Structure formats: structure tokens, C-alpha cells
Structure 1
């Protein structure tokens, strides 16, 4: 199978010399005989250099390629290869002084500017950092497409990573979970230390698992790492598991684990027109997302009715939410389903919410209410009720990808009243607005049921 594999991934712990390995591979691909030429008289393979060696070092930002480029420059500088091959070792690009075609150069996430390149070899380092918020998955697909165009000529890629956080849907995760890896078409090199989070206080188990994870890396300070893990409580256990034991683990500040959320998915009994539902609305104008989630009253099944996200496209610097589309979504929800309660976060939308409240008032019965998410006491309680419902599977969802993404993007922030959910940083592109909508919808459902509306059968007066 190895002869069929032109693509490979290495998932290794911190300090296992992944970058020096990539640097050495880049040099071999640039000047060394690394493509099959023919079989010799003894039946052994003979290699030849790449005719047009175009080596790219991919990263989500140019400064992330510095370490690999510095390692390559250090290996080549003042080496016999520098003089023999006539290399021009620049800081940003390595090429031949003679003008012969061929380069080693960094490549960062620039989307369309990378499309159409023809690299002979591509290095992708630290792919656990290649996530949706920095364009990593799209960049990976672009690089992969470029390589696949000339795979028959021997083009190939190699990626390295630490263990990923399964909540982030990084390129490292996508590669690991790919059917190409499962079927053996892509080589995947990984050794994990055999340890669970609850065993990180056991010195013997920690030491044994470190020895297993670091293998023949004799330079690793196993006693020092053991002491750090046993006694340093400033680092989350999930970080130790990922970076030292090479084990996939979720960040400890993540609000919801992927396994918990997926356990609540229910593809049966879909939401139908006429079902009694509650709604949650979280709106923005241009920065964050705007969405509407619904939840069925009788069983707590969540679904998404509307979502608008800022595309973060430089060609659309003045992008704003389509207000008319939001209005249409609200009207459609009330016309298709029997909406019993709707909670709306008011900022930027107070006028619209007030109008919805009037329009959908049925003979003095209110159905649309404000819910200020910036009031921590009430929001903390709603978040806790939602989180508990997930834990005991008292709610379900239809597997909507956007809702799942927003829920798994959310991290917790402690306030005096308890735990709130928030983005991982104020400027993060990893949105959580549908998660907020889901919390509001689930809270609206609880209040609708407490108000007796689950049994309510509204009548429509028809004149003849």
C-alpha cells in the first residue's frame, strides 16, 4: 500500500522534531533524487531529481512558516549542497543562482491567489491550527487540488500536527477522519500514550504513557514532563493529553463536547407544518450572525429556521444583514407552525420585535417577548437548563451543520452568577449566535409549557 500513497500525515507530540523532518523532506524534494526513474540490474529502484521542483510550505499566516524556513536555511547554509547546487538561500525564497527553474517558498491562506499553482511538493505544518476562522480548510482544499493535478507525475503533500481539538473541525481532524486514511490510501503516522484524563495524577501511568508517546525520541525529558504534569495545575488536562500524550481531547473551556451533542441527534420524527413550537432569535446588523432557531414543544427537538452570516469577503466590506429576509423568515415561521412563544434578544432589533409582538398578538394573547442576553442572572439560568437537557438528553436536534458548528464553537466564561457562553475571543470569526438562539428557543419552550400552551388549541374564526 505504501507504493500507492503519495500523501502522508504525521500526528506527533510536542517536541518530536516534526519541523526538522519537514525541512529535511523539503530539501530532498528540491535537490535530491526523489522520483522513480527505473529499476537497476539487481531489481532495485533508481531515483531521479524532480525536473521542476516547486516546493511550497503552507500555513495559515506567513509568520507561521518562519520556523520551517529557518530550519531549511540552517540545514543548507554553508553546507556542501549550497555550493554544489548553486543555491541562493534567501529569507523568503530559496532558488538556484543560475536561474534554473525551482523554488522553496512559503504560501499562506490567500484562497484564490493559490488556485492553479502546480507544486511538486507541499508541506502543511501544524494543521490543528487550520480551522474555519482562519480559512484553513479552504486553503487545504486548494493546495490538495493543485497537487492532485500532477499526482501522476509524482507530486505529493505531507502534513504534520499535534493532536487536535475535536470541537474545532480543523484540517488535522478532517485528514484523520478522511476515508482516504481509513482505506489506507493516505499514510497516517501516529502513536498515542495510553492514558485517560482521570489518570493524570498517577505517576507511574503518566511516565509509562509518555514513554509510549515519545517512542525513540531519546532527547525527550520524560522525568521533567512527568513532574510538570503531576504538579502544574495551571494547564488544563486536555492540553496535556493533546500535546504530550498525542491524544485527541476537547478543550476544557468548551461549552459542549462533540460526543454529547451528537448523542442528541434524532433523524426520526421530523418537524412538520402545524407543530407547536417556540422560537429563539438573536440578531445583529453587520458583525455577528443573525439567526432563528425553533424547538418543538412536545419533545424539545431543535431546528434552524434562518441564518445569515457575514461572509468576511473583502469584496463585500459593507455587508449587512438582509432585514427583509429576517422579516420574511419570522412571518413564514408563524404561518407554517403554531408558534406559542418567541424570545428575542433586543439590541438593534427593538422596533422590529415590538412590531412582531403586535402583529402576532392573538386576541390579547402575547407570543413575542424580549429576552436580554446581557442580563447575566437570567441568561446563566437558561444556559444551565439547556446544558442539563443535553446531558440527560431531554432535548434533540436534527443534525443541522450550522447549529452544530455554533454550539461547538461556544466556550464558557465564568461570572459571579455562574457560567455564560461566549466566543473564544472578541474578534473570533467562530460564531455562536445559533447556539444563543437555541438557548432562547429552549427557554421559550419551557415558559410556553409552564403557561399551559402545550394543550392550547387556538381557533381561527372563519366568516361565511
Structure 2
């Protein structure tokens, strides 16, 4: 019902939809039903009647397109279509069904088309679809040309106000599939990073905090992911999970609807999600360490707090370039970053503050001079707050491995902040002579990791407090002027 929600002017709230569900939950038949409705049904706003209820009408030019990586995959949808139209409907709309194309007419004579398309962006060019259906978008990536297809068909739809419906299993982080890109866009929407919204995301997943070797726990996880899909044979799925034919990651992704990691991913998404604790928030006066990683235009800038009593990591502020035309001349406002640092010191008991020095040298000097007396440990021998991430490779690497281990053993907590989650899951393994460090997928990758880098700096600062024996010490009291007797 939410897919057809409208505002007071009759415009759709959601123009794009993603349905991410476990394998065998009926995404294909559901898409076939939606496609049939978009093909002939009253799916566009006409008017409000005298009682204020919505009256619908068919699309002015109904042209529904079904896309997948190959024509055989589209059959998951088209085969269901054949059983959806009864004899009365076929007669009323003069439906002429084919293997890959349906023709029909509205009672007023308007021609309607529903077609399955091949995975070629050139053959898709120039269409005017009223509705697009993209199936199994976790398979849509650069290597098979489906990103080009996606860009072409969505541009076609945009020019005529067409709607986009995507269905997918859980994707693999780092493959940069269309499914991953759509999820990232939705996360940025939740963070308020996007100027335009309109993307509806629907996913039912298992709670990641379960022991896959415990059959009862696995059964509960699979049952949760399949929700009300009464046709699913849970016993057969459990047998498949323990058959040894499929991998651990496939069990989580296909049958628990949990996003998994590529081989070079630093953070296991399932382990990261298991660190989620609902309702956590920083409170005024909390003892924290701060980490700051900054950029100018291409990279993001993030100020992260790590609460000392429970290792709760939370971004205080995250500056990222917007998508679209606004990104061309966008730059991080370093004065705004400095103001946020001041705000953090005014509201929390900051025990240590480690900031990367790249692009922020003058600010780091200012922070060291202003806040140095309040801090329990120094970032380096040269600076109270400045920590050169390029010149401390050994510490960065060993601390990175320790932080990854802390996540895998759920010794870190987070509250599900989407920006933080994105950056953690974007981080890639980078091996060096000291062990495993981290980095972006590539120098120019749009998948940023700066919030992870800032979190690592806050984590290193916490470890320095431990080494100095100051983690559990009472914070320093700073003398302040007080007014007595009205003076």
C-alpha cells in the first residue's frame, strides 16, 4: 500500500522501491502482480471525490518493462503473468499474450504494452516506460553491463514520470552492484544527506546475533526472514544449510537475508550488525575519546566519539559530498568542523582527542593549545591532538586488527547510525609488513571510509588511556570563575 501513497496534491511519495527478501519468498510472483496492475489498472491519481477519497485512473500511456540479467531470469515474472488474467479481463482489454510481450487496449482505445527486455542498454535506449521492474539487482554490476542498463532505463523512466520497482536478494558488500548502490542511496536518505528523497526500501532479515551452528537458532533466524511466507519449506532450507554444498556466507545471504562481505572486506557486516544496541545515545557529560578524519572535497570528514564506559561508537558529525550536480563545487567547511569540535568539548568530558593532521594542520594546533590542559594523554610526542595517520603505520595496523577483533567479539557497540555503518562496511583489507590495515576500494571510489578512520583514531586514543592507566581515573577538574554574592 505504501508504494501507492500520495501527498495532498496527488503526487506519489515514493517513486522508487526496493524489495530485498530471502530466496524463495515470492518476489517474482509479487512483481508479476504489480506489473499486471501497472499494465492495466487505475494506478495513477485522477482526483479526489466529494468525500475526499482518491479516484484512480490508468497510466496515460501504459508501457511496462521487465528487466533482468538475461531473458530466462525474467521468466520468473512472465510465467506468473499468464495465470493472472481471467477470460473477462482478456476480453475487456483485448489482451494478446506472448512469451515476452503483452499487447492490450483500454476500453477507450488506448494501447498498452508490457514487455520483457534483454540485458542491453542500447536496446533499452529511447523507451518511455510508465513502470520499470528490475529483478535480482544484486547481479547487476559493471562487469556484466547491467549498471549501464540501469542508468539507461531509469533515465527513460524519469523523462515521463515512470516508476521504478527493484527486487533483490541480500547483496555482497563491495561488488558495487545496483542493489548495493540503491541501499547506499537509501542510507544516505535516512541520514539526511540527500536533497531529494522518494526511495522506499523494504527488507525483512534475521537478527544477525545467532550461532549458525546451533540448529534451533538457525531455524529461528530462517523463520524470521521468511516471515509470513507460509509456502516456504523451512525443514528443506535447514537441510540445505547443513548440506555442505553452500557456504556460510550463502546461508546468511540467501536464507537469512543478511548482507555479507566480499573477500577483501575488512568488516563482516553480520558481525557489525550483531554489535547493534537499540536506543543507545551519548549523554551530556559522558566520558569519551574523540577521533577526527578529514578531507577537503572528495573525501568525507567525520568526528566520532567513543564512550569509555561501554565502547559505544557514535559519529557526532559527518560531512559528505552530496550526490548529483551539487557535488561539483562542494568542499568541507573546516570552520564548521572546528565549531563541532568546540561543541563536543563543551558537552562531553573529552579524555583524549586524536585528529589526523592532513588538511587540518592549523586547526590541530589551535585545538592542542586550547584543549591540551584538559586531556589525559597526548596524541603524539609533537602534538596533543595531531596524529599523523600516514606516519604511524605500525600502530594504525595493529590497532586496526584489534578493532576488527573487538567488532567480531561484540566488544564494540553502535546504535545503527547509517553513515557509520556505510563507512565501516566500505573499508577494505590492506596488508603491509605489520599485518592488516584498511583503505578504500580504490583511490577514486565513491564508497568512503572516513568514519571508520575516525573511529579507529578514537579507539587508539582509548587504548592510550589504558596504557597510561587513566581509563578509569576520575576526569580532570578545570577551575572556573564563579559569581558569589552578586559580584
Using the size of structure 1 for normalisation, the TM-score is 0.59
The answer to whether 1:461 aligns with 2:479 is yes
The answer to whether 1:165 aligns with 2:172 is yes
Across the two proteins, how many residue pairs are aligned to each other? Answer: 353
For residues 475 and 183 of structure 2, the distance between their equivalents in structure 1, rounded to whole angstroms, comes to 51
Q: Is the 1:284–1:348 Cα contact (8 Å) retained in structure 2?
A: yes
Cα displacement string for residues 95-127 of structure 1 (whole angstroms, at most 9, x for unaligned residues): xxxxx856669899xxxxxxxx872x5220341
Question: What secondary structure is seen at the aligned counterpart in 2 of 1:277?
Answer: strand
Question: What secondary structure is seen at the aligned counterpart in 1 of 2:385?
Answer: strand
Name 1:359's counterpart in structure 2: 370
Structure 1 residue 278: deviation in Å?
Answer: 0.6
Question: What secondary structure is seen at the aligned counterpart in 2 of 1:295?
Answer: strand
Question: What secondary structure is seen at the aligned counterpart in 2 of 1:339?
Answer: strand
Q: Is the 2:134–2:165 Cα contact (8 Å) retained in structure 1?
A: yes
Question: What secondary structure is seen at the aligned counterpart in 1 of 2:261?
Answer: coil
Q: CA 1:333–1:240 in structure 2 vs 1: closer, same or farther (change >3 Å)? A: closer
Q: CA 1:106–1:188 in structure 2 vs 1: closer, same or farther (change >3 Å)? A: farther
Cα displacement string for residues 159-200 of structure 1 (whole angstroms, at most 9, x for unaligned residues): 554652378874599554289985569x9999969545xx7x
User: How do 1:132-211 and structure 2 match up within 5 A?
Assistant: 159=166, 161=168, 164-165=171-172, 170=180, 174-177=201-204, 182=227, 194-196=239-241, 205-206=244-245
The answer to whether 1:127 aligns with 2:134 is no
Structure 1 residue 346: deviation in Å?
Answer: 1.4
Q: CA 1:107–1:175 in structure 2 vs 1: closer, same or farther (change >3 Å)? A: farther
Name 1:262's counterpart in structure 2: 273
Structure 1 residue 327: deviation in Å?
Answer: 0.8
- List alignment gaps of at least 5 residues for structure 2: 1-17, 43-57, 76-95, 104-109, 120-127, 142-146, 185-200, 206-223, 379-383
Q: Is the 2:351–2:375 Cα contact (8 Å) retained in structure 1?
A: no
Q: Is the 1:9–1:189 Cα contact (8 Å) retained in structure 2?
A: no
Q: CA 1:205–1:301 in structure 2 vs 1: closer, same or farther (change >3 Å)? A: closer
For residues 379 and 282 of structure 1, the distance between their equivalents in structure 2, rounded to whole angstroms, comes to 13
Name 1:447's counterpart in structure 2: 464
Structure 1 residue 411: deviation in Å?
Answer: 2.3
User: How do 1:313-324 and structure 2 match up within 5 A?
Assistant: 313-324=324-335
Structure 1 residue 361: deviation in Å?
Answer: 2.2
User: How do 1:360-379 and structure 2 match up within 5 A?
Assistant: 360-362=371-373, 368-374=384-390, 375-379=392-396
Structure 1 residue 295: deviation in Å?
Answer: 0.8
Q: CA 1:407–1:180 in structure 2 vs 1: closer, same or farther (change >3 Å)? A: closer
Question: What secondary structure is seen at the aligned counterpart in 2 of 1:378?
Answer: helix
Q: CA 1:379–1:365 in structure 2 vs 1: closer, same or farther (change >3 Å)? A: closer
For residues 300 and 9 of structure 1, the distance between their equivalents in structure 2, rounded to whole angstroms, comes to 31
Q: CA 1:126–1:329 in structure 2 vs 1: closer, same or farther (change >3 Å)? A: same
Q: Is the 1:127–1:172 Cα contact (8 Å) retained in structure 2?
A: no
Using the size of structure 2 for normalisation, the TM-score is 0.56
Calculate the aligned-residue CA RMSD, in Å.
Answer: 5.4
Q: 2:342 aligns with which of 328, 331, 349?
A: 331
